Amino acid sequence: MTNLSRTEIQKREASELPSVSNHLNKLLENKTPAVFLDYDGCLTPIVKQPEMAVLSPEMRDVLAELAAVCPVAIVSGRDRQNVQQLVQLDNLYYAGSHGFDISGPDGMHTEPGGAAEALPILDEVDKLLQDELKDIQGAIVERKRYAIAVHYRNVAEEKVAIVEKAVDSVLSRFPQLKKGLGKKIYELKPNLDWHKGKAVLWLLDALELNKPDVVPIYIGDDITDEDAFASLQEMGVGVLVGAHDDKTAASYSLKDVEDVKAFLQQLTYLAKSNREAQL
Ligand SMILES: O=P(O)(O)OC[C@H]1O[C@H](O[C@H]2O[C@H](CO)[C@@H](O)[C@H](O)[C@H]2O)[C@H](O)[C@@H](O)[C@@H]1O
């Protein structure tokens, strides 16, 4: 398993990244891709409410065609069951709650981050936050199995500080949890050394994809995807969709969800051609 230490990770401005579409032939070079995809902002555009982020039938077809030629996993901050219901494809792998909860075809299910002890704490914190934030218009407390997202996208700007203060105050009482950031959300997650990057490495090992003829490709748009880009920096391809507020460990870029769709089609075509050429 490759895992670069934080100091060795190379970070760049998103604007400096070349488009991955122009480099795919070279990156694939007779290798099979293993594709890891974030959900929000990657497969669906960012919208006002989490439940409005519905996968388009076209994107579902593109994913189904890709999964017919290579392993595909969705690696999301969402609850694993929730993202599975949104994608509705049985032959994919799903890592939800930022990688703490993983499932796959043929009844595969595992929770490799070791967060089970945090469940009763997350239940308690969920209730506390629902109560604390009930009078803040637009605030949403979204419980996932192994994380709680507090959304402030629809909160008046002058009230966002109140939301963050409530999150920090609850967190100060529960050292078993830590704070994470995302697009207009504060997240409360188990205070453990586990994240999307570790989940990707875990899947590569479990699916026996750690081999020279496989190229792992991770596509994501958010700050939590940086762990995955960093984990794959020496052994795969990190692709940032759009930009977030920080520098990135990704090596390539795509503009938006439409660009992701076109890239996945290109990838399917090339992976299929490579496979047929090897027969
Ligand atoms: O890792 P992801 O699959 O990208 O999930 C990250 C978070 O995505 C969702 O929130 C984000 O998308 C919403 C819908 O577009 C948007 O309203 C919100 O502002 C974004 O932060 C999801 O609701 C969270 O649970 C995920 O952690």
Q: In this predicted model, what pLDDT tens digit does every residue of 142-195 receive, in sequence order?
A: 999 999 999 999 999 999 999 999 999 999 999 999 999 999 999 999 999 999
Q: What is the ipTM metric for this complex?
A: 0.99
Count the domains in the chain: 2
| Three-state DSSP class for residue 96 | strand
Catalytic residue of the set 38, 79, 222, 227: 38
Residue 221 forms part of a structural domain: yes
Asked if 228 contacts 36 with a C-beta cutoff of 8 angstroms, the reply is yes
Asked if the structure places residue 1 within a domain, the reply is: no
Domain boundary among 165, 190, 215: 190
Does 272 reside within a domain?
A: yes
Residue whose CA lies nearest to ligand 1 atom number 6: 77
If asked whether residues 154 and 129 sit together in one domain, one would say yes
In the predicted structure, residue 2 carries a pLDDT above the cut 70: no
Nearest alpha-carbon partner for 128 in 98, 96, 173: 173
pLDDT for 3 beyond 70: no
Question: What residues make up the domain containing 145?
Answer: 116-190
Per residue in 80-113, pLDDT (tens digit) is 999 999 999 999 999 999 999 999 999 999 999 9
Domain end (from 147, 174, 190)? 190
One domain for residues 243 and 166: no
Pair (228, 105) in one structural domain: yes
Q: What does the pLDDT read at residue 1?
A: 44
Pair 174, 219 in one domain: no
Query: Last residue of some domain: 190, 206, 223?
Result: 190
- Residue 190 CA to residue 176 CA, distance in Å, equals 6
123 plus 180 within the same structural domain: yes
Q: Which atom from ligand 1 is nearest to the alpha carbon of 151?
A: 19
Q: Are residues 24 and 97 in the same domain?
A: yes
Q: What mean pLDDT do residues 211-226 have?
A: 97
Which residue has the CA at smallest separation from atom 20 of ligand 1? 183
CB distance 151 to ligand 1 below 6 Å: yes
Classify residue 98: in a domain, yes or no.
Answer: yes
Question: Any idea what the CATH number is for the domain that residue 55 is in?
Answer: 3.40.50.1000
Domain membership of residue 78 (yes or no) is: yes
Question: What ranges in the chain are assigned the alpha helix state H?
Answer: 24-28, 57-67, 80-87, 119-132, 160-172, 196-206, 226-232, 257-278
- In whole numbers, what is the pLDDT of the chain averaged over residues? 95
How many angstroms separate the alpha carbon of residue 50 from the centre of ligand 1?
A: 6
Amino acid at 105: P
Strand 214-220 with 177-182, pairing: unpaired
Across 109-131, average pLDDT? 97
Query: What span, in angstroms and rounded, lies between the C-alpha atoms of 76 and 83?
Result: 7
- For residue 254, with 0-12 CB atoms within 10 Å meaning exposed, 13-18 middle and 19 or more buried, which class applies? buried
19 C-alpha to center of ligand 1: Å?
A: 24
Has 38 been annotated as catalytic?
A: yes
Q: Which residue among 179, 185, 225 has the greatest number of ligand 1 atoms within 8 angstroms of its CB, and so is best to mutate?
A: 185
271: left (phi over 0), alpha (psi -120 to 50) or beta: alpha
